[in-house]
């Protein structure tokens, strides 16, 4: 029988541990993809976005905003789900290889430390406005955007719940 809890926890990493993993993956010629976000209430838009991101390389890393970071960015009522729950849920996806929580408002430190081969954000961002884009490009990497699935957002789900 598989030890699901062990598998999930092995995907949730501190930055120093993940830096070592990334170095190993790169030494094995694996293409490392990085994206980040809050991922508060997982919906089909998130799943589609993350699965498309995973298709752009061999290893997918998700930088996850900490609870404190989410509160600063989205307000005191967020996140709905705590960072440990959000990290475990993301780690449960077979196409996710690593999750790392970050405290800052942007993932710039994560990106410059891990230096992914491909940096991904939603298509609502222009490449010149993506945090870490110039650093990744200067290092020979790529920056790409992925179109969102229309009509899905954690904020819209929360509003729908509050109306009932």
Residue 20 has pLDDT above 70, yes or no: yes
Q: Quickly name the fold that domain 4-163 has.
A: Rossmann fold (3.40.50)
pLDDT tens readout for residues 36-87: 999 998 989 999 999 999 999 999 999 999 999 999 999 998 999 999 999 9
User: How confident is the model at residue 162, as a pLDDT?
Assistant: 74
Residue 129 · residue 111 · CB < 8 Å: no
With beta carbons less than 8 A apart as the criterion, state whether 136 and 115 touch: yes
pLDDT at 159: 72
**pTM metric for this prediction:** 0.91
Residue 79: asked if its preceding bond is cis (omega within 30°), the reply is yes
C-alpha 124/C-alpha 132 separation (Å) is 16
pLDDT range class, residue 94, cuts 50, 70, 90: very high
Taking only the tens place, the pLDDT of each residue in 115-157 is 999 999 988 888 899 999 999 999 999 999 998 777 666 667 7
Supply the pLDDT for residue 155.
66
Residue given tokens 């110039």 in the structure block = 134
pLDDT of residue 149: 72
Domain ranges of the chain: 4-163
Radius of gyration of the chain (CA): 15
Does residue 158 register a pLDDT over 70? no
Q: What is the pLDDT of residue 108?
A: 98
The Cα–Cα gap between 59 and 71 comes to: 29
Query: Residue holding tokens 């930055």?
Result: 15
């Amino acid at each position: 029988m598989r030890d699901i809890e062990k598998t999930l926890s092995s995907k949730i990493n501190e930055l120093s541990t993940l830096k070592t993993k990334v170095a190993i993956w790169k030494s094995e010629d694996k293409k490392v993809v990085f994206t980040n976000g809050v991922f508060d209430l997982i919906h089909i838009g998130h799943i589609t976005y993350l699965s498309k991101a995973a298709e752009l390389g061999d290893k997918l890393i998700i930088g996850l905003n900490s609870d404190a970071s989410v509160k600063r960015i989205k307000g005191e009522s967020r996140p709905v789900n705590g960072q440990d729950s959000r990290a475990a849920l993301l780690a449960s996806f077979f196409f996710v290889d690593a999750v790392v929580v970050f405290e800052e408002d942007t993932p710039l430190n994560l990106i410059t430390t891990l230096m992914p081969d491909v940096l991904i954000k939603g298509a609502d961002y222009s490449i010149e406005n993506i945090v870490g884009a110039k650093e990744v490009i200067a290092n020979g990497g790529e920056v790409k955007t992925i179109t969102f699935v229309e009509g899905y957002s954690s904020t819209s789900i929360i509003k729908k719940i509050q109306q009932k």
